[in-house]
Amino acid sequence: MKSWWSSVWPPVVAVLFFLAVWQAAVSLWDIEKYILPAPTAIGHEAVSGASDLLPHALATLKLTLIGFIIGATIGLVISLALHMVPFLKTALYPLLILSQNVPTIALAPLLMIWFGFGMLPKVIVITLVCFFPVAVAALDGLARTDRTMMNYMLMSGATSWQIFTKLELPHALPSIFSGIRIAATYSVMGAVIGEWIGSDRGIGYYMMLQKSGYRTDRVFVAILIIVLLSLMMVLLITLLEKRLIRWNRKK
């Protein structure tokens, strides 16, 4: 408990210090509210605007979860397919890596043209940003199976299905989870970008709206909510990971 506290208080103090400097700077130089609102003003706006914000936050959360689940699932399926069929891996893996040079955000307007302003194009954006880290991490984990354990399984006459389920998959699980964790934070970003480009609800939409009205304090509130959503996703994944990976891998 004591050591936990000793690792927690320095960043907390750092954040408080940063906020204090911000607050002091705003009042000292009398900075206009539409340029940089003080932390207290943002806090005030967050509380008073909470009821307006809640539906937007929920809409973004829903979009994020749907896109994340679809994206992560597709990433896993791709990695398993490439792992099980080595020819597919040699053929497609370089393309997979190359595909990441296309900035997904650049595709978003195109997706809006093709699929309209509904949920579909946004889910596709999130899927595109989510599948890649999962697929690459899973492929990497599956390819790094411990050689001695593999030899043991082969010499014991394990079938390839047994090798996959009893060795490769559990061995790759920590690696898969690190990919999923990255995808979880990306998914929030994907959702917000999707909403920027075309939507009538969600935090991204709210941000754009408030930006037009120079309500900088509300833009800050929106950023705060995005950060909280990201943290929530990571927390969710970490809890899931703790449940699934009971053994302690110390390296």
Partner 1 sequence: MTHQGSQPLQGGHGQSQTLTSCAPALEVRGMQKTFRDRRSEIHVLNNLSLQVRPGEFVSMIGPSGSGKSTLFHIIGGLMAPDAGSIFMDGQDVTGAQGRIAYMPQQPALFPWRTVEDNVLLPEELRGTSKAAARASARDWMKRAGLAGFEKAYPHTLSGGMQQRAAFLRALMSPQEVMCLDEPFSALDALTRSDMQRWLLDIWEDTRRSVLMITHHIEEALLLSDSIYILSARPGTILKRVEVPFPRPRRDDMLTDPSFIALRTEISAIMREEQHKRGSYLE
d(CA 146, CA 70): 30
Nearer to partner 1, 20 or 154 (CB): 154
Residue 243 within binding range of partner 1, rule CB under 8 A: no
| Contacts of residue 62, Cβ cutoff 8 Å, sequence gap at least 6 | none
Residue 240 within binding range of partner 1, rule CB under 8 A: no
Q: 135, 234, 134, 114: which is closest to 184 by C-alpha?
A: 234
Site for partner 1 (CB under 8 A): which residue of 48, 151, 160, 238?
151
CB of 56 to partner 1, least distance (A): 41
State both tokens at 119.
Answer: 């949920």
Nearer to partner 1, 46 or 163 (CB): 163
Site for partner 1 (CB under 8 A): which residue of 6, 51, 157, 200?
157
Q: 237, 238, 241: which is closest to 173 by C-alpha?
A: 241
Residue 170 within binding range of partner 1, rule CB under 8 A: yes
d(CA 162, CA 112): 44
- CA dist 40 → 22, 181, 201 (Å): 10, 32, 26
Site stretch for partner 1 (CB under 8 A), options 18-26, 123-131, 167-175, 222-230: 167-175
Residue 156 within binding range of partner 1, rule CB under 8 A: yes
Site stretch for partner 1 (CB under 8 A), options 9-17, 56-64, 141-149, 201-209: 141-149
Site for partner 1 in 6-25 (CB under 8 A): none
Residue 39 within binding range of partner 1, rule CB under 8 A: no
| Contacts of residue 191, Cβ cutoff 8 Å, sequence gap at least 6 | 60, 63, 64, 67, 122, 125, 126, 202, 203, 204
Site of tokens 């898969």: 176
Nearer to partner 1, 68 or 177 (CB): 177
Instruction: Summarize as ranges the residues that interact with partner 1 (CB under 8 A).
Output: 146, 148-149, 151-158, 162, 166-167, 170-171, 173, 245-250
